[in-house]
Amino acid sequence: MSFTASSVALAPLSIPSPPTSWQIPISIPIWNGMVINIHMYALCIVVGIIAATLLTEYRLRKRGVEPWAVIDILIWVVPLGIIGARAWHVATHPADFFPVDGQVHDGVTYDWLHVIAIWDGGGAIMGSVLFGALGVFLGCRISGIRFTTAVDAIAPGLLIAQALGRFGNYFNHEIFGTPTNLPWGLEIESTNAAFPAGLADGTLFQPTFLYEMLWNIVGAVLLIVIDRKLHLQWGRIFALYLVWYGLGRAWLEPMRLDPSEIYFGLRVNEWGAILLIVVGIVLFIVQSVRHPGAEPSAYRPGREWRRPSAEVDSELVYSDEDDAPLPAGAHRG
């Protein structure tokens, strides 16, 4: 994608980018002049994880799950989500990590260590969603919570965490879009590696990170309202999350200027967004047909002993084969 200096007129109003010094707000000295730098982007991600955890904990308790069982899931979701985010980024930006014939990229010769160097930046939400879902599955197997209950509880908080992560992109001066003369155009320094050649210093850009932040926050509110009004279960709230987030990425991805692999005319994350939409629609339809009623319990059959004692129905037990309740002492023939 190329631009000329006359392609966009400068707007009188704009969104300034924060000073680059704000990218590392905290430096902690440890030993012999060595320091640990806490990046603003990392802080945004941590705050997002905390917010998502607290909201998910509240939503799980409303479904009858014991207090702080969310931790049993979180300890799997966070590391796998980080691994997935990095894996997706590496897989979709191979030239950045596997130079051809010893080719140097951005003045640096990379080795295999750079593939795992998440501290140098580079992660993708698509990968974190995929691997994070695996983390939820593993956590549910250990805790006894239904997978569908857990993902429905997580969905709104996940959007909030993603919104806060995009706020971190603002401090990193990244994830911006095409030039614009809109009054909310984003200021990006011409020395930025992603600044398009041929444009005048002071050209403004679409703040795509901000659009995605707002899209995710609105989506989180909508999911909570829909859940309260319609009481959707069996993974259907999570299905709506997939559709909502996929639609947002499909809309915003073509605006972005950061490099991406192109397949059949679309950026790789556009294909990922389309996949999320299709999976979400199929999941919603299938679960609506298979499970028109409510979940009998937030726990898997045979694991109701994990529920708070005051909420256990002593007159009902659940078989391992079916979700339907059986009278106490009865066996399925």
What DSSP line would sit under 245-285, residue for residue?
Answer: HHHHHHHHGGGB-S---EETTEEHHHHHHHHHHHHHHHHHH
Q: What domain count does the chain have?
A: 2
Whether residue 7 lies inside any domain: the answer is no
Which residue, among 259, 266, 257, 208, has the nearest Cα to 93 in the 3D structure? 259
In a domain, 10, yes or no: no
Task: Identify the pLDDT of residue 226.
Answer: 96
Decide if 199 is inside a domain: yes
pTM flag (> 0.85): no
236 and 326 fall within a common domain: no
Per-residue pLDDT at 116: 66
Q: Which domain holds residue 244?
A: 20-300
Same domain, 238 and 319: no
- What pLDDT does residue 150 have? 94
pLDDT along the chain (333 residues), means of 10: 47 78 76 78 90 95 90 90 80 67 53 63 76 90 92 95 91 89 90 86 92 96 96 95 96 87 87 94 96 89 58 41 45 40
What letter represents residue 93's amino acid?
A: H
Shared domain check, 214 and 322: no
Please answer whether residues 258 and 93 qualify as being in contact, where contact means their C-beta atoms are separated by less than 8 angstroms.
Answer: no
Q: Are residues 187 and 327 in the same domain?
A: no
Asked if residue 93 lies in contact with residue 84, where contact means CB atoms within 8 angstroms, the answer is: no
Do 321 and 274 lie in a common domain?
no
Q: Are residues 309 and 213 in the same domain?
A: no
On whether the CB atoms of residues 51 and 161 are closer than 8 A, the answer is yes
Report the distance separating Cα 87 and Cα 124, nearest Å.
Answer: 8
Report yes or no on 15 lying in a domain. no
Question: In this structure, what token pair is assigned to residue 210?
Answer: 């901000």
